Structure formats: structure tokens, C-alpha cells
Structure 1
Amino acid sequence: MAKVLCVLYPDPSGGYPPPLVRDGLPQLEHYPDGQTLPSPSAIDFTPGALLGSVSGELGLRRFLEDAGHELVVTADKDGDNSEFDRHLADADVVISQPFWPAYLTAERIEKAPNLKLALTAGIGSDHVDLDAAIAHGVTVAEVTYCNSISVAEHVVMMILSLVRNYLPSNRIASEGGWDISDCVSRAFDLEGMDVGTVAAGRIGLAVLRRLAPFDVRLHYTDRHRLPTEIEQELNLTFHESAAAMVPHCDVVTVNAPLHSETRGMFDDDLIATMRRGAYLINTARGLIADREAVVRALESGQLAGYAGDVWYPQPAPPDHPWRSMPNHGMTPHISGSTLSAQARYAAGTREILESFFGGTPVRDEYLIVDGGKLAGAGAHSYSKGG
């Protein structure tokens, strides 16, 4: 019997379960690159239901308990006396979401001698100390691609919301106003602008594809250059680095993993090289942008807007300056947790657990760390020691 410790965000304020908004979800055949969707032997949930909160349990309880395993689900993850820490000592598997991350630091991994698998229900495993996982033989896996398109759609929404000044205009209408001058004094067309992405992996490339019909000039930088046919198809301009790209862009979107090369990348110095009045979108990780530098750039007008749904820490404290800075379009970390995405990452979590408990290999594309080294998607996205 194994102990599975699952950390999920709290239930809705109005109680669980909330009513189903739609009857079912669209059926997808595969992901855009041909990768197949999660394929567990069965699921014990209704697609379109809220699965990512504590009572949703990712639809795992029946599956795990029928197999004789113990499932502990909690939202209490921070502090030395958290429920997460109390159960971690004898946990074999830890499941967490990027939207409500259980930070598996080196110290916590050291205190978890039974831990064999750290599983991200979603994508992005930077809340796990990967070097410590390597040192302790802990396998790290995530449900690759499950919510990449969800995030890409959120990026496009945020770009349009900032450039068109949608959020303040909606607020004016909601409050009974008709202040057209106030609405349009910061509104522009996206058409004709230069838009660049820092990283052009699954999310970044999906953003580029969705923006191409807007008749913008597209730029990108990535440690792995895209194939020539894709560059030609989308009329992309490649830059060797973010520093080389951002001076040429009106809009910059960050779609890179957090590691030593990207931590604090958007600081005062880099933002100062951007076009005055540019927009910065960050749905990657909060620590890629320097918190105070972003605030200063918005207050000075160097940035016309900043939008994102990633913070540090998560959840962000009530006094976090990104909640009150001017011209922002922040959301809680929700871009990859749509009900559509939840059905995929819940199914993918079960698929990984079925492989883990059944002694069969976990899909290579799901692996971040395995056998004491970076593996699969992790070997592509991260570097040891970073």
C-alpha cells in the first residue's frame, strides 16, 4: 500500500460541487503536434466538473482506494505545521498543481524518506527542487501538453485586453458610466504591432499561431530554434536572446520555464530597453519578472500594461504590489486550470499513477526527472544545477 498526498486548491466559496455549466466537453483527437491525449484505463469523474479543488480530488479516490492505497487531500501546504508537512514524512507520492503549488524544497525532500514520485497535475515542475529530486532518486513527472493551449488562449486574451483597454472599459460600463474618452484614451489596434515570445515551445508556438491572423509582425527567442518551415509559414523573426528581441517589440509574452537563466530576467535593465509603452504578458512564472521593476515601469509609463496570472509566492499575499499597480490585468493562477484542462490533467495524473503502480514505464514526454537524472521533457527544458 502506498500513501498518496495530494495538494489542491480550496473548494469554491459557495460550496462544492458547483453546478455544471455545460453538458460535456468537445472531443479532441490529439494535441496539435500529434501527441495523444492522456489515456488511463478508466476515469471516475465527469469531464467538465471541477476536479482541481479539494473535494474534486482529481477524480482519484475510488481508483486509489480500490487498489488499497491511502489518499490524503489537503489545501493546507504552507508553514512547518501544515497538513502537507505532517503527512509528507511517510508519503510515497506527492501530487500538486502549479496553481496551488506544494513547494517540494530540498529540505522537505530530505524529510520524506519514502517519497518516490512527485507528480504535477498540469505542466511546470519548478515548485520541485529538481536537483534534490535527482540526488534522492525521486521521479518527477507532469502531464505535458494538457493545458498548453489553455494557457495560449489566456495569453491572447490578455494581450487584447491590455491593448484594447478592455478591463477599465468593462468596469466603467458595469458601474453605469459611459465615459468613452476614458475608455479609448489607452485603446489601440493590435494590427501592425510587433509581438514577441520568450520561448517558443508548445505554449509559445501556439500563441504565435493564434496571433498570426491579426496581421502582426511576429518575433521569438528560444534555446531551440524552430524548423525553417515553421519560421517561413508564420513569417517569424528569430532573435538569439530576450535582450536582443525585446527592443523590437510592442508586446512581449513570456512562455519559458523558470530556471537559473530566466529567474529575474525582466528587471529594470531589460525593461528599460523595451519600447516605451510596450506591454508585457507573463503566464510562465512570477519569478521571471522582477516584482518591483514591473511596478516601477508601470508607474513611469515605460510599460503601458502588465498582465499575467503567475505570482510568487502562490497564493500571493493580499498586499502584493501587483494587485494594486496601475494598468495591470492580473488574475490568480488560472490560465491552465480551465475545466477543459482539468479533465485532461486529471486523466493524465491517473495515467501516470497507473504506470507507476503497475511497474510500467511512464510516458517519456511526461518525465522531468527519472533514474537520478533529467529525462524526457525535463531534459529538453531544464539544465542540471539550474
Structure 2
Amino acid sequence: MAMKHVATPVLRALASPGSSTLTRHLHASPGSNKIVGVFYKGNEYAALNPNFVGCAENALGIRDWLESKGHKYIVTDDKEGPNCELEKHIPDADVLITTPFHPAYVSAERIKKAKKLKLLLTAGIGSDHIDLKAAVEAGLTVAEVTGSNTVSVAEDELMRILILLRNFVPGYNQVVTGDWNVAAVAHRAYDLEGKTVGTVGAGRIGRLLLQRLKPFNCNLLYHDRVKIDPELEKETGAKFEEDLDAMLPKCDVLVVNVPLSEKTRGLFGKDKIAKMKKGVFIVNNARGAIFDAQAVVDASASGHIAGYGGDVWNQQPAPKDHPWRYMPNHAMTPHFSGTTIDGQLRYAAGVKDMLDRFFKGEEFPAQNYIVKDGELAPQYR
């Protein structure tokens, strides 16, 4: 992706013939800038850990720094509806910081209202809660803290694989309810060793997962647009599968590690699930909308999917009647795998670094850009 200096306005042609956009000046306005952050509420937990910086109360730990430089920092968790706090501050915000864990959906309508907005930052990884096409057309820059929570998510994926294979959740529930029935758990509990595990996507998280799976003596497969480094292939023993449909029936465990885009939205529907091995275990910490929600429910009910685990939903927060809450043999949680305390510290530091560069009119790390100079990063195309 061609990346020019961050402070230079550029007139670029969009993909559609004859259309163009003027990139907004991506440098801080003289004097005070208005930065708006949208994060989940910490409530009574906000004060329990000084490193719990990802909540609204602790605001990434950058309030004092921003205000010492004369900037205005507005933080809220109120992001839904026409009268929410976010709507009040959108029109005169210079920078909007959002997060995948409490997504403020930045629609084309909101972008139109944000006349002063220059920069959209994601505290974490994954900017699909932003209308990226509208951001391109408006000349905005979208960036995230690439790599900030890859370790957090990869570790969580490994945990969920083991939880599903060992049938851990029903065993835990027995203890909580005072029951003791080994047979009810053991009849569908398995070892990970010797199983075939495939990852759809072998980017930063997928590669870390392959490395962490190596000691379990699994058969490792991966599908991606490009092959991973030959040395990593040799280290992990992972084999490249160019044809996704050919890989699916080979996998005892399937892990999804691709971003949500127009190409991956609804990728795993009834037909793709039917190609998977009967009794497959699925872990999806990528995005809920990559799977057809009802297709997952139906396949879980029939036993074609032996277990489905993840922390991402096609609606977030998930409504109380979301069918994934009640399907059999699941290991679902709220979206928190990437917002461990360690992950928070990394993405808070990354946001601060990019804001500092923004104030100085400097480049961001190239890998952090999702939209720049009218171009969309390859993984979202």
C-alpha cells in the first residue's frame, strides 16, 4: 500500500471511475484539539487494578497527558441512538478513538456529521465497526494498534480449543450445581494430540497460534492469501492449503483468524459448514459476522458442529435472546480476549504514540494504517 506523508493533503481517485476525494489535512489543528474516546464502563472494577486502562473511567491512561498539552478529551460509553453522548460530540471532534470491545459503530451518517474529523483510531485491532468506504470517501485516516493484542487473542484461542475438546464447561457447571456425573462429561472429551487443526488466516494471530500448537503434536494446516515464511512452516510443521474447501473436511478443529470484510462476511454459511468434518470443533475470535448465526445454531443442534467457541458476536453487545447463548456445546464469552490487562497496556501505548505523531504531523507505523490517502489496507479490500 502506498503510504505518503501523513500531513500532506492528496487528491486521489477512488476505485469507481470518475470519482475522487480530497484527503483531509491529517495534522493537529493549531492549539487545542478535541479527542473523543468511546470505551466500555469499568464501574466498580475501574479502581481495582491501576493497569485497567481500557475502561471509560481510566480512558487509556492518557487524560493528564492530553490535557497538559491543552487538548480536550471527552470520554464516554454512551454510543447508541440519536441523543447519545457520542452524537453530541461528533460534529466538532478532531479525533475519534473507538474499540472493538465496545464498538461505536461509525456509520456513513456519523462520518457526514463529523465535519472536523481527521483521524479515526481503533484502540486494539479490527476496524470493521467503521464504515471504511465512507471513511475513504471523506478523506479520513483510519488506524489501529496493529499487533497490540495478538498474543492475547492467540492464547485465548488455544484455551478455547482445549476447553471445547475436553468438554470443560459441562464439567465446571456440574461442580457449581452440586452434581457429579463423570460419564456425562467424559463421553465427549478428547485429547488435542494427534488432531488436525486448521487456521483460516495465518497473519499475526494465526502464526502465533501455530507456534503455540506445535508442542501438542497436532497436524497443522493453514489457509491464507499468501504462504507464511518457509522457516515458520518448518518450525511448526504447518502445511499450506490453497483451497479452503479442500481443507475444511480435513480439520478436527477449525480456527478463524481473518478480518471481517465484504469478502469474509457470511463466509461460513450452511454450505461451507456442510463441507466440514462431522463433529468439528470451531473457534472464532475474529468476528461473529464471518459465520451465519443460524447456520451455526442448526449445525450445533444436529451435532455436525461438536462445539463452537469464541468471544465475538454478530451483534455486540449480544442481545439476551441471541441464539448462540443457548445452543448446545458452546464456549462463548463476551468480547474480551484482546482486552487483557497486558493487551490494554499495549494498545493504550500505541494510541498515545499515534496521537503524539498526529500532533507533530509525523507518520504512523506503516502497518497501523487501515485507510490512508484514499486507499484501503489489503486485508479489508
Q: TM-score, normalised to structure 1's length?
A: 0.89
Which runs of 5 or more residues in structure 1 are unaligned?
21-45
Aligned to 1:270: 272
Aligned to 2:36: 5
User: For the residues of structure 1 that align with 2:82 and 2:269, how far apart are their CA atoms?
Assistant: 32
Aligned to 1:102: 104
SS in 2 for 1:307: strand
User: For the residues of structure 1 that align with 2:285 and 2:374, how far apart are their CA atoms?
Assistant: 30
User: For the residues of structure 2 that align with 1:80 and 1:117, how far apart are their CA atoms?
Assistant: 22
User: For the residues of structure 1 that align with 2:39 and 2:122, how far apart are their CA atoms?
Assistant: 11
Aligned to 1:358: 360
Give the AA of the match of 1:85: E
SS in 2 for 1:196: strand
SS in 2 for 1:257: coil
Which runs of 5 or more residues in structure 2 are unaligned?
1-31
User: For the residues of structure 2 that align with 1:72 and 1:105, how far apart are their CA atoms?
Assistant: 20
Aligned to 2:89: 87
Aligned to 2:195: 193
Aligned to 2:46: 16
User: For the residues of structure 2 that align with 1:369 and 1:140, how far apart are their CA atoms?
Assistant: 5
Output one character per residue of 1:175-206: Cα deviation in whole Å (capped at 9) or x when no partner. Answer: 22221111212101111111000000000011
Give the AA of the match of 2:36: L
CA contact (8 A) 1:119 1:140 kept: yes
User: For the residues of structure 1 that align with 2:47 and 2:229, how far apart are their CA atoms?
Assistant: 46
Alpha-carbon deviation of 1:313? Answer: 1.7
User: For the residues of structure 2 that align with 1:221 and 1:309, how far apart are their CA atoms?
Assistant: 22
Give the AA of the match of 1:209: Q
Aligned to 2:214: 212
Aligned to 1:125: 127
Matches for 1:1-386 after TM superposition, within 5 Å: 1-12=32-43, 14-18=44-48, 20=49, 49-374=51-376, 378-379=377-378, 381-383=379-381
User: For the residues of structure 2 that align with 1:172 and 1:66, how far apart are their CA atoms?
Assistant: 53
CA contact (8 A) 1:222 1:241 kept: no
User: For the residues of structure 1 that align with 2:201 and 2:181, how far apart are their CA atoms?
Assistant: 39
Superposed CA RMSD in Å reads 1.1
Give the AA of the match of 1:50: F
SS in 2 for 1:89: helix
User: For the residues of structure 2 that align with 1:144 and 1:289, how far apart are their CA atoms?
Assistant: 24
Give the AA of the match of 1:16: A
Output one character per residue of 1:20-78: Cα deviation in whole Å (capped at 9) or x when no partner. Answer: 3xxxxxxxxxxxxxxxxxxxxxxxxx5xx111111011011111111111111111111
Aligned length: 350
Alpha-carbon deviation of 1:225? Answer: 1.3
Q: TM-score, normalised to structure 2's length?
A: 0.90
Alpha-carbon deviation of 1:230? Answer: 2.1
SS in 2 for 1:152: helix
Output one character per residue of 1:310-367: Cα deviation in whole Å (capped at 9) or x when no partner. Answer: 0122111111111111110001000000001101111111000000011111111211
User: For the residues of structure 1 that align with 2:123 and 2:46, how far apart are their CA atoms?
Assistant: 20
SS in 2 for 1:87: helix
Give the AA of the match of 2:218: V
CA contact (8 A) 1:196 1:253 kept: yes
Alpha-carbon deviation of 1:15? Answer: 4.8
SS in 1 for 2:148: coil
Aligned to 1:27: none
User: For the residues of structure 2 that align with 1:191 and 1:17, how far apart are their CA atoms?
Assistant: 42
User: For the residues of structure 2 that align with 1:89 and 1:239, how far apart are their CA atoms?
Assistant: 47
Give the AA of the match of 1:166: F
